[in-house]
Amino acid sequence: MTPKKLILIMAASVLAPACADSLDTAPTPGSDNTPPPGTTAGSEDNTFNHENDRISPWDLIQRLEEEGPPKYTSHVHSCPKVPIATLGNVLASVGVNVSNTTPLSAGDLYNRGYNALGGANFPNRIRENISITTSGASREFDIFAAAADEVIANLPNVARCQVGGVGVQLFDANNQCRADGITCLLGEPAQAVHLDICNLSVTNASDVQTGKRIAVAALLAAAYTCD
What's the pLDDT score for residue 147?
A: 94
Across 36-45, 91-100, 186-195, least confident range: 36-45
Q: Per-residue pLDDT for 4 more than 50?
A: no
Provide Rg for the chain, Cα atoms: 34
Q: Per-residue pLDDT for 18 more than 60?
A: no
What is the β-pairing status of strands 166-167 and 162-163? antiparallel
What's the pLDDT score for residue 226?
A: 66
Q: Work out the burial of residue 87: count CB atoms within 10 Å of its CB; fewer than 13 is exposed, 13-18 middle, 19 or more buried.
A: buried
Angle between helices 179-186 and 192-204 (to 10 degrees): 100
Angle between helices 134-154 and 208-224 (to 10 degrees): 130
Distance of CA 219 to the CA centre of its chain: 18
Q: Per-residue pLDDT for 11 more than 90?
A: no
Q: Per-residue pLDDT for 122 more than 60?
A: yes
Q: At 33, is the pLDDT very low, low, confident or very high (cuts 50, 70, 90)?
A: low
The per-residue pLDDT for range 159-209, each reduced to its tens digit, is 888 888 888 899 999 999 999 999 999 888 989 989 998 999 999 999 999
Q: At 7, is the pLDDT very low, low, confident or very high (cuts 50, 70, 90)?
A: very low
What's the pLDDT score for residue 56?
A: 81
